[in-house]
């Protein structure tokens, strides 16, 4: 039992260290991680590089693939881009194995100690984030040391060693073992770490280690496969490509390239010592994934064709939420970028609702009234879903700056939803105009057009300022809000004058006042959005 407890504890430390290191690296990368994803084009080579770099930061090909499935499901990434990222992720995950084989576990304690000290006493967020990554780095190696120490007594049991040696004689069984362990742990890095821990104690020869490694590469696809359940058809196709890619790669190596692979890794690190075998396994992991990518690259379009033929499901995006997906929460900086994009999408839905409501007032169109009411229901649903997503995002390990951005988004989506509510109020007033056959004087209509143009411009500019974090444009929105307040008071006074002069009937006058009141409130919410942009700019400075 001591061996089991030691192994579980070591594996737990390893996974925890990898998580801390990943979190720290993501915080350090921050906007760079978003930029890496933003590099994506239809160029498959760029996508492969982006996938490799992202996985080096995230420290998990499974996490990267799950995130990519979220992007595809949200419709912000094409299947072609996703395939390139997935290929790159398989290469990027081999970096963890390479790091593990550097025998620095004797320095792990001092790395953790110094890093914790820096993390505790440094006041600079950037330094604390780097220290956090090094804490994870040290804990990861402590976990490896724990696993190695726990496995050391097994070297005295010939029966156990013989079982591992027999893996080389039964490659199918070995592949299945690697697959099962990875499927259970949900991490190819953890499975590879366990394999390297066995190798570091001289318990498994390279002939047995290679087929287990192949099985690990297949097992890592299970996480993404489960993640695609409930996703749209394109996302399912992306997960299927991951499976096809790794399974075909394993078949090619087992059938044709296992001996050349063995010759290369033993030439680079000759010998049968524990150190040599560990290096051989790590190098085999890297060579396997790079070679598989090179071999599979010409069949890029074939993968697209095969998944198109055999994967069924719904292709169309549902109306409403488009860009957020819980799968992206694995990488908070990316999830935040998607939340901002979804907020802007919600803002544009409210803009469309506002434009329809204004057309309904001026043109007395029942169709525009019905369309505004339909969009308002969508906006209300979007606010709820984005709020839930932001709550989940705020519960992840995000930086202080990103947390402030999340808090600001809560207020922004509330302002956008209120704009939608005012658009609904406006179409109700339009309905009163139609049902009561009420009319405005030409002067009143001209005044309304003047105010609606100013209010609509202020709202559109507020969304633009939010998207581009444009402080100057945000200040212009504040100025437009002041002009709107003045215009609303002026129009109200003019209206009272027309009522007194008998130029306007009271029933129409009540509707007129309610319209300008709603328009003034919309300008207030535009101003709130602009103020949030200004606050963000000040926080960065």
Q: Return the CATH number at 497.
A: 1.20.58.220
Whether 510 is in a domain gets the answer yes
Q: State residue 181's pLDDT score.
A: 84
Same domain, 244 and 338: no
**Which of 89-93, 327-331, 347-351, 362-366 is least confident?**
327-331
Same domain, 195 and 236: yes
DSSP classification of residue 121: H
Whether 323 is in a domain gets the answer no
Same domain, 174 and 45: yes
Identify the residue with better confidence: 236 or 417: 417
* pLDDT above 60 for 316: no
Same domain, 346 and 275: no
Same domain, 121 and 265: yes
Q: State residue 372's pLDDT score.
A: 92
Q: State residue 351's pLDDT score.
A: 94
Compute the average pLDDT of residues 10-19: 77
Q: State residue 541's pLDDT score.
A: 58
Same domain, 52 and 99: yes
Q: Which domain holds residue 505?
A: 328-540
Mean pLDDT of all residues belonging to the chain: 83
Same domain, 218 and 297: yes
Q: State residue 44's pLDDT score.
A: 76
* pLDDT above 60 for 147: yes
Question: Residue by residue, what is the 3-state secondary structure of 436-455?
Answer: CCCCCCHHHHHHHHHHHHHH
Whether 281 is in a domain gets the answer yes
Question: Going by C-beta distance under 8 Å and a sequence separation of 6 or more, which residues neighbour residue 501?
Answer: none
Q: State residue 196's pLDDT score.
A: 83
The model's confidence at residue 314, banded by pLDDT at 50, 70 and 90, is low
Q: State residue 485's pLDDT score.
A: 93
Q: State residue 359's pLDDT score.
A: 92
Whether 494 is in a domain gets the answer yes
> CA torsion, points 392, 395, 398, 403, in degrees to nearest 10?
80
**Backbone phi, then psi, for 501, in 5-degree steps?**
-85, 0
Q: Which stretch, 101-115, 184-198, 464-478, has highest mean pLDDT?
A: 464-478
Same domain, 73 and 211: yes
Identify the residue with better confidence: 389 or 55: 389
Place of tokens 């009271």: 506
Q: What angle do CA 305, 309, 312 make, to 5 degrees?
A: 125
Hey, what are 329's tokens?
A: 């929460």
The model's confidence at residue 507, banded by pLDDT at 50, 70 and 90, is confident
Q: State residue 1's pLDDT score.
A: 64
**Which of 25-34, 148-157, 513-522 is least confident?**
25-34
Q: Which of 269, 304, 339 is the last residue of a domain?
A: 304
Identify the residue with better confidence: 289 or 152: 289
Q: What angle do CA 471, 530, 476 make, to 5 degrees?
A: 60
* pLDDT above 70 for 419: yes
Q: State residue 197's pLDDT score.
A: 83
Same domain, 261 and 341: no
Half-sphere exposure at residue 37, Cβ-oriented, CA atoms within 13 angstroms? 27
Q: State residue 484's pLDDT score.
A: 94
Same domain, 246 and 349: no
Compute the average pLDDT of residues 318-323: 75
**Which of 12-16, 41-45, 336-340 is least confident?**
41-45
* pLDDT above 80 for 425: yes
Q: Per-residue pLDDT tens for 83-98?
A: 888 888 888 888 878 8
Helix axes 171-185, 206-219, angle to 10 degrees: 50
Q: State residue 343's pLDDT score.
A: 94
The model's confidence at residue 526, banded by pLDDT at 50, 70 and 90, is very high
Whether 316 is in a domain gets the answer no
Which 3 state secondary structure label does DSSP give 505? coil
Q: Per-residue pLDDT tens for 469-496?
A: 899 999 999 999 999 999 999 988 887 7
Compute the average pLDDT of residues 421-430: 93
Compute the average pLDDT of residues 306-333: 74
Q: State residue 404's pLDDT score.
A: 86
Question: Going by C-beta distance under 8 Å and a sequence separation of 6 or more, which residues neighbour residue 195?
Answer: 178, 204, 209, 212, 213, 216, 281
Q: State residue 346's pLDDT score.
A: 95
The model's confidence at residue 35, banded by pLDDT at 50, 70 and 90, is low
Identify the residue with better confidence: 32 or 207: 207
Q: Which of 289, 304, 319 is the last residue of a domain?
A: 304
Q: What angle do CA 516, 521, 527 make, to 5 degrees?
A: 130
Whether 322 is in a domain gets the answer no
The model's confidence at residue 164, banded by pLDDT at 50, 70 and 90, is low
Q: State residue 540's pLDDT score.
A: 64
Tally the domains of the chain.
2
Compute the average pLDDT of residues 521-541: 88
Q: Which of 271, 304, 337 is the last residue of a domain?
A: 304
Identify the residue with better confidence: 77 or 284: 284
Q: Which stretch, 193-207, 283-297, 303-317, 378-392, has highest mean pLDDT?
A: 378-392
Compute the average pLDDT of residues 527-538: 90
Same domain, 430 and 489: yes
Q: State residue 30's pLDDT score.
A: 60
Q: Which of 348, 357, 370 is nearest to 462 (CA)?
A: 348
Compute the average pLDDT of residues 337-362: 92
Same domain, 450 and 341: yes
Whether 41 is in a domain gets the answer yes
Burial of 202 (0-12, 13-18, 19+ CB in 10 A): middle
Whether 398 is in a domain gets the answer yes
Compute the average pLDDT of residues 100-127: 82
């Amino acid at each position: 039992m001591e061996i089991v407890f030691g192994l579980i504890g070591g594996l737990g430390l390893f996974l925890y260290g990898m998580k801390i290191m990943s979190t720290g690296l993501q915080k350090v990368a921050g906007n760079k991680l978003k930029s890496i994803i933003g590099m994506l084009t239809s160029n498959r080579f760029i996508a492969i590089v982006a996938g490799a770099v992202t996985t080096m930061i995230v420290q998990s090909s499974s996490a990267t693939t799950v995130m990519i499935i979220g992007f595809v499901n949200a419709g912000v990434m094409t299947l072609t881009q996703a395939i390139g990222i997935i290929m790159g992720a398989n290469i990027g995950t081999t970096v963890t194995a390479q790091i593990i084989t550097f025998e620095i576990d004797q320095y792990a304690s001092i790395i953790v100690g110094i890093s914790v000290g820096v993390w505790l006493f440094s006041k600079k967020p950037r330094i604390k984030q780097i220290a956090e990554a090094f804490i994870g780095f040290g804990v990861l190696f402590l976990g490896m040391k724990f696993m190695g120490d726990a496995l050391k007594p097994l070297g005295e049991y010939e029966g156990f060693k013989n079982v591992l040696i027999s893996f080389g004689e039964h490659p199918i069984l070995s592949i299945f073992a690697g697959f099962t362990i990875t499927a259970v742990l949900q991490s190819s890095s953890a499975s590879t770490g366990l394999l390297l821990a066995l190798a570091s104690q001289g318990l498994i020869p390279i002939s047995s280690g290679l087929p287990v490694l192949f099985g690990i590469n297949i097992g890592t696809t299970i996480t993404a496969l489960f993640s695609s359940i409930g996703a749209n058809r394109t996302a399912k196709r992306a997960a299927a490509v991951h499976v096809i890619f790794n399974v075909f790669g394993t078949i090619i190596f087992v059938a044709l390239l296992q001996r050349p692979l063995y010759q290369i890794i033993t030439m680079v690190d000759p010998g049968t010592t524990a150190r040599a075998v560990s290096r051989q396994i790590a190098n085999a992991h890297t060579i396997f994934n790079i070679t598989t990518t090179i071999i599979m690259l010409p069949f890029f379009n074939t993968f697209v064709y095969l998944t198109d033929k055999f994967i069924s499901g719904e292709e169309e995006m549902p109306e409403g939420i488009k860009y957020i997906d819980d799968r992206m929460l694995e990488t908070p900086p990316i999830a935040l970028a998607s939340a901002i994009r979804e907020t802007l999408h919600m803002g544009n839905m409210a803009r469309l609702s506002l434009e329809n409501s204004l057309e309904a007032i001026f043109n007395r169109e029942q169709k525009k009234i019905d369309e505004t009411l339909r969009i308002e229901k969508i906006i209300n649903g979007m606010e709820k879903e984005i709020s839930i997503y932001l709550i989940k995002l705020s519960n992840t390990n995000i930086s202080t700056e990103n947390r402030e951005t999340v808090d600001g988004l809560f207020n922004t989506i509330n302002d956008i939803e209120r704009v939608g509510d005012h658009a609904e109020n406006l179409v109700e007033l339009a309905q009163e105009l139609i049902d009561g056959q009420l009319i405005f004087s030409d002067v009143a209509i001209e005044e309304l057009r003047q105010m609606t143009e100013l209010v609509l411009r202020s709202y559109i500019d507020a969304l633009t300022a939010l998207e581009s974090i444009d402080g100057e444009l945000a200040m212009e929105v504040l100025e437009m809000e002041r002009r709107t307040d003045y215009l609303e008071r002026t129009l109200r006074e003019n209206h009272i004058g027309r009522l007194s002069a008998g130029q306007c009937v009271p029933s129409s006058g009540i509707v007129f006042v309610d319209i300008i009141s709603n328009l003034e409130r919309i300008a207030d919410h535009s101003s709130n959005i602009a103020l949030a942009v200004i606050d963000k700019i000040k926080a960065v400075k």
